[in-house]
Amino acid sequence: MAMYTIEPERRTLHGKFSREFPPVLTIDSGDTVVYRTLDAGWNLEPRLTRNGSQKRFEPRDPATDFGHALCGPLAIRGAQPGMTLEVQINEIRPGVWGWTYTDGWDRVGTGEMDHLMSWTLDLNTMTGCNQYGHIVNLHPFMGVMGMPPDEAGMHETGPPRYCGGNLDCKELVAGSTLYLPISVPGALFSVRDGHALQADGEVCGTAIECPMERVSLTFPLRDDLHITTPRANTRAGWLTMGLHEDLNEATVIALNAMLDLMEEQYHIPRPDALALASLVVDLRITQIVNGVRGVHALLPHGTIQ
């Protein structure tokens, strides 16, 4: 299998999803791509003020680059709608700085919030320290991994979709495998939005947003797996994702997808799957800040024999 590299440059960066964007690279199923990515805000150096850093990536097209700094799109030969793209997350290595910003929308009723934390990231200890001396353990993952929907025009990078995108799921660390429904020929996969650390919910609207020095992903095509919403095999267990503007609806989607997975993996009838899910499946709020809410159902490994 071949290995390729994609660097963040004018040719490879875009701020929307679109089935009309030509691929910057075409690979075969099972090939590996190593990325270097910008942070979510197109910054080239640490963000020290709420208005951004002293230097951002330029030039940018206001029509196509108003959004997260996506790297891609990547085409996989033979990818067709109805198939599944398997994304094996081999390695994620963050840069040495990051930031967390509250966007002024007070979600908890305590008054106006507009605040920036600047982080120094230590890759030897895998910790981050901000300007106030707070120290946290890092847990890096990519916030956006996905493909465009089969709809004309350009689509915002903020809301996650059934074909992936801004999933913001903290379980998608190195060693995990993400499965995404393919909706367009070639798949046209893009990645970005490095997070050095984020909790479930992402309640202030950002994580520790950071550039990534190395993101290694392998892309097998699956024509034997047909899914309608993202799922993943992670260190924590199998998880299925529900995405909807309504949190209750997102919960139902995630749960139904988990029951599908339990039937497939353990060959048990759906009534048994539902009963067992009530005992061993946790429902978690992935994020509440992207317009489309996310819920993931988590089945820890080894809980069903």
pLDDT (tens digit per residue) in 136-145: 999 999 999 9
pLDDT-based confidence at residue 62 (cuts at 50, 70, 90): confident
For residue 148, give the nearest of 113, 105, 182 by alpha carbon.
Answer: 182
Amino acid letter at 204? C
pLDDT (tens digit per residue) in 83-98: 999 999 999 999 999 9
- For 259, counting Cβ atoms within 10 Å of its Cβ (0-12 exposed, 13-18 middle, 19+ buried), the class is buried
Distance, CA of 22 to CA of 57 (rounded, Å): 21
Strands 32-37 and 13-14: unpaired
pLDDT (tens digit per residue) in 183-210: 999 999 999 999 999 999 999 999 999 9
Greatest Cα-to-Cα distance within the chain, rounded to the nearest angstrom: 58
- What region does 33 belong to: left with phi over 0, alpha with psi -120 to 50, or beta? beta
Predicted pLDDT at 53: 58
For residue 253, give the nearest of 173, 160, 184 by alpha carbon.
Answer: 160
pLDDT > 70 in the chain, percent: 94
- For 287, counting Cβ atoms within 10 Å of its Cβ (0-12 exposed, 13-18 middle, 19+ buried), the class is buried
Residues 6 or more apart from 34 whose CB is under 8 A from it?
3, 4, 5, 6, 214, 215, 216, 217
In the chain, domain spans:
3-95+139-222, 236-299
Distance, CA of 180 to CA of 226 (rounded, Å): 9
For residue 44, give the nearest of 58, 34, 55, 35 by alpha carbon.
Answer: 55
Q: 236-299: which CATH topology?
A: Endonuclease I-creI (3.10.28)
The yes-or-no answer to whether 3-95+139-222 and 236-299 have a common fold is no
Predicted pLDDT at 66: 87
Domain 3-95+139-222 has CATH 2.170.190.11: no
Considering only residues 65 and 229, tell me which one the structure prediction assigns the higher pLDDT.
229
Residues 6 or more apart from 121 whose CB is under 8 A from it?
94, 95, 96, 97, 98, 127, 128, 138, 196, 208, 210
